[in-house]
Chains A and B, each alone.
Chain A
Amino acid sequence: GAVVSQHPSRVICKSGTSVKIECRSLDFQATTMFWYRQFPKQSLMLMATSNEGSKATYEQGVEKDKFLINHASLTLSTLTVTSAHPEDSSFYICSALKRGRGTEAFFGQGTRLTVV
């Protein structure tokens, strides 16, 4: 299968600071990447769709000014959590679409964010 690398895997930050999470497709080009958030014992919730070279599309209820998404190349999307608060503590996962004979979504390893 394809490889999607997400970094960092774990981060602890102080309230009010910003955190950047990177998602890279290592062996394929991904024009579309997705960012999900998962709270404990909850399902993955789509936050936004990241399209290379254009603005991200955010799901209802997700603040675009707080969760900044940049997809500047075909292999990299970044999510920046700005002015983080303890309630932003969660598991953030990216996925990248690999298009071929079929289309399959491959997931990064996830980033566990803890805001203290």
Chain B
Amino acid sequence: RKEVEQDPGPFNVPEGATVAFNCTYSNSASQSFFWYRQDCRKEPKLLMSVYSSGNEDGRFTAQLNRASQYISLLIRDSKLSDSATYLCVVTGRGGSQGNLIFGKGTKLSVKP
């Protein structure tokens, strides 16, 4: 089983749509979880951390289920500017901070 698995997509959605991405991870010792956004040929940028209690930042909601080792990201009212690849990221062996394990990413394309 891969360390971090994501549906690669692409997800093609119209503006204003709600879209959800899922991610599973294999290392039960992982301590921290994140969603990063990566635009084409650019470096990843932190979108949000994911907490056990779930967290929301504007149109973005992230949730974590430790028992199922499952992370989700919900984007409401999609904008054209949301088009990017969304990377599910967990900390690696021993839960070491900064030793980030990346999923392959889910590509989102928001159309007018």
Contacts and interface: CB of A to CB of B under 8 A. Distances in A.
A42 B87 CA distance: 11
Interface stretch (A12-20, A78-86, A97-105): A97-105
Interface residues on B, range: 10 to 19
Tell me if A's interface is mostly helix, strand, loop or mixed.
strand
Contact of B100 (A1, A42, A105, A110): A105
Which bracket fits the contact residues of A? 20 to 34
Contact of B43 (A1, A104, A109): A109
A36 B87 CA distance: 14
B98 A93 contact: no
Secondary structure class of chain B's binding surface, majority of residues: loop
A45 B4 CA distance: 12
A34 B100 contact: yes
Interface of A: 1, 6, 32, 34, 36, 41-46, 49, 91, 93, 95, 97, 102-105, 107-110, 112
Given A43-B87, A105-B98, A93 B43 contact: yes
Name, among B99, B103, B104, the residue most crowded by chain A CB atoms within 10 Å (CB to CB).
B99
Interface of B: 4, 41-46, 49, 87, 92, 97-105
Given A43-B102, A44-B102, A107 B87 contact: no
A44 to B, nearest CB: 4
B100 A46 contact: yes
Given A43-B105, A46-B92, A34 B44 contact: no
